[in-house]
A = this chain, B = another copy of it.
Amino acid sequence: MKKYSIKDIANLSGVSVATVSRVINDNGRFSEATRKKVLATINETGYQTNFSAKNLRMNKSFSIGILVPDISNYFFAKLVQTIEEILFNHGYSTVICNTARNADKELAYLKMLESKGIDGLIVISGPKAFDIKQLPAAKNLPFICIDRQPSDQHGTVFIASNHYQGAFEATEALINNGCQHPVIALHQQISSSGIERRNGFIDALKKNNIFFNPEHNQVTIETDHILTTLQAFLKDHPETDGIFAINDTIGIEALTTLLKMGKAVPEDIKLIGFDDDPQDRHSFPTLSSVRQNVDQLAEVSVKNLLNMITHEASPESSIIIPVSLVLRESSR
């Protein structure tokens, strides 16, 4: 079966290419008779638009790039999956770029996306503020940032969960359940949402008259060395009776590690994570966590990006999506 072009359809239907194009895109004027005729031959032949040609001519690619740190992380996977589905339903295809939190890779991907002439860009999380100006030629590429600050707010939209609120509520839950010495567990490298979560933790302490001392109330986890880090910290701070983990990866790791150390959770130490990873329901004890509203994040993001692309609305500067605390056994 050969590939048909609009010219073939024109010949077969006995009309001109212009008319075929009008029928396909349903613009301009044409008689009902020709519409039927053209549509019929399109059906017979199985004609499909050649997007390379359409893109070239219209200077539009009907595709959107997504920059994401790590798609094997459940939260990111789910978010990207949801966004992709919505975009597909709007006639856009998605190019997913896994930056692995690496600035060089990020730039390489951006250049590729620019070459492909993407119509818009969605930037998800990442260690530092996102600077669109690293792409000189794409100065006016519509883009939005999810859970990552743009280095220049102007002309873009920043969408994020209410990390502050989530962390605040989680911390208060620890305190209300009796914790007097809560500790926040985080990584060295911290994203803008991580900072918000940390602020929420600190303010919850403040509100409950617990003085935040980074020496006593914060432990920096080195990936792959969580056992030694946590062991050392708890030796120096045996009073610790609650941990707020900045995400569920740390949360689950901390849980396993605490059990290995002979600590009882939640009896000795209460624990709450962040992101509501499905595995939280299968750990022992089950892990309390903060759930982000993935569907809403995705929907709002796509809506705003498409608006920017069609210039239907000038972008709002920032949108905050509520989160919800999910209490399970680890913080009883």
Give chain A's interface residues, CB within 8 Å of chain B.
1-4, 46, 48-53, 55-56, 61, 70-72, 74, 77-78, 80-81, 84-85, 88, 93-96, 98, 108-109, 111-112, 114-117, 136-137, 139, 252-253, 255-256, 259, 279, 281-284
Contact = CB atoms under 8 A, between A and B. Distances in A.
B253 A46 contact: no
Contact of A282 (B48, B51, B55, B256): B256
Contacts of A80: 71
Contacts of A2: 137
Nearest to A66: B96
Nearest to A85: B98
Interface centre among A77, A115, A283 (most CB of B within 10 A): A77
Contacts of A96: 84, 94, 96
8 nearest A-B residue pairs (beta carbon)? A284-B284, A279-B279, A52-B55, A52-B56, A72-B77, A252-B282, A48-B115, A1-B136
Contact of A78 (B56, B72, B111, B252): B72
- How many identical subunits does the complex contain? 2
Nearest to A117: B52
B50 A115 contact: yes
Nearest to A96: B96
B279 A256 contact: no
A154 B28 CA distance: 46
Given A96-B96, A116-B51, A77 B71 contact: yes
Nearest to A286: B256
Contacts of A279: 252, 279, 282-283
Contacts of A52: 52-53, 55-56, 61, 116-117
A81 B283 CA distance: 26
A118 to B, nearest CB: 10
28 contacts: A1-B136, A1-B139, A46-B137, A48-B114, A50-B117, A52-B52, A52-B61, A56-B56, A71-B71, A71-B80, A71-B81, A72-B81, A74-B74, A77-B77, A81-B98, A84-B96, A88-B109, A88-B112, A93-B95, A95-B95, A96-B96, A252-B279, A252-B282, A256-B282, A279-B279, A282-B283, A283-B284, A284-B284
